[in-house]
Amino acid sequence: MSTVATDQQQFAQILGEYQDRVFRLCCAMLGDRALAEEAAQEAFVRIWKALPGFRGESTLSTWIYSIARNACLTARKSKAFERGLSLELPGVRFAAERARAEAPDRSIDILRYVAELPPHYREVILLFHMQEKSYEEVSAMLDLPLGTVKTYLHRARKQLAEALAAGKQPRMTDGGSR
Amino acid sequence: MDEERWMEDELDAALGGIVAPPSLSPAVMRRVNRPRMTRLPEILDSIGGIAVLVAVLLALSPFAPSVDPSAAYAGLAVAFTSLILWHGWRSLRALNG
């Protein structure tokens, strides 16, 4: 009985501490708020079920992110995700909706360029900006070496800059002073 | 350089500060605290149902002398087992919501 209580206490702590990061990871991988929330829920239910068997062979965060990534991969196979993909690319729709809601007059063209990036660059650049620009966090969340994260990010930025320079100039909302 | 800065600012503005919706945590706790479903009663029901039908068939067998017994038993067994499995499948679907 006390083990169950300890597990519940530990799980509540994990949920409080990781919900934002798991949700961001799901957003970057799935791109749709509803799907991301569903996948995050599923990830935490899996964490709850597997928690008694967690032996600390990897760090807690590595273990949690690995479960969250698997939940996202399962969600990607869902019919809802396939329908979503036909409308807009993952990672971007969510951000665009949010940006539009927060500042309707703001240019969000940059997100359209992000949508054109290859999926691995897109996930890295989305997570990097969601995770307060922490290379280490992105590396842990996507299970990529730090050097790979930096390389992907560099290439993503380069491709974005090239796309912008190729004549598809996004609208500058404040005269370019930002 | 300005364009790079603009790009970074735009990405920060669009993607920074995303947090989990307030509904996530209560929804997870609801799912976690939900009593765990078990399929055992349904499986036992099916086994029990099949046993009862076998007993009934055995009891009725002396009253069907004109039919080839092996074919009759096989046909009836398949029909009733299918019925029970279908019933069990419906129960499981209801159980899983």
Residue type, position B48, single letter: G
Does residue A93 share a domain with residue A74? no
CB A41 within 8 A of CB B28: yes
Taken in order B76, B79, B81, B84, the sign of the CA dihedral is negative
Task: Identify which of B14, B20, B23 has the shortest CB distance to residue A111.
Answer: B14
ipTM of the complex: 0.72
B5 and A178 in contact by Cβ < 8 A?
A: yes
Does residue A96 share a domain with residue A69? no
CB A144 within 8 A of CB A28: no
CATH of the domain at A105: 1.10.10.10
| Structural domain range at position A131 | 89-165
Residue A171 lies in a domain: no
Give the pTM: 0.66
| A33 to chain B: closest CA residue | B21
CATH of the domain at A16: 1.10.1740.10
Residue A131 lies in a domain: yes
Q: Which of A55, A68, A61 is nearest to A17 (CA)?
A: A61
**What number of other Cβ atoms are within 10 A of residue B38's Cβ?**
9
Q: Which of B25, B19, B11, B72 is nearest to A113 (CA)?
A: B11
pLDDT means per 10 residues, chain A with 178 residues, are 69 92 89 87 93 85 93 83 51 64 61 82 88 87 93 92 70 40
Residue A172 lies in a domain: no
Number of structural domains in chain A: 2
Q: How many CB pairs under 8 A join A and B?
A: 86
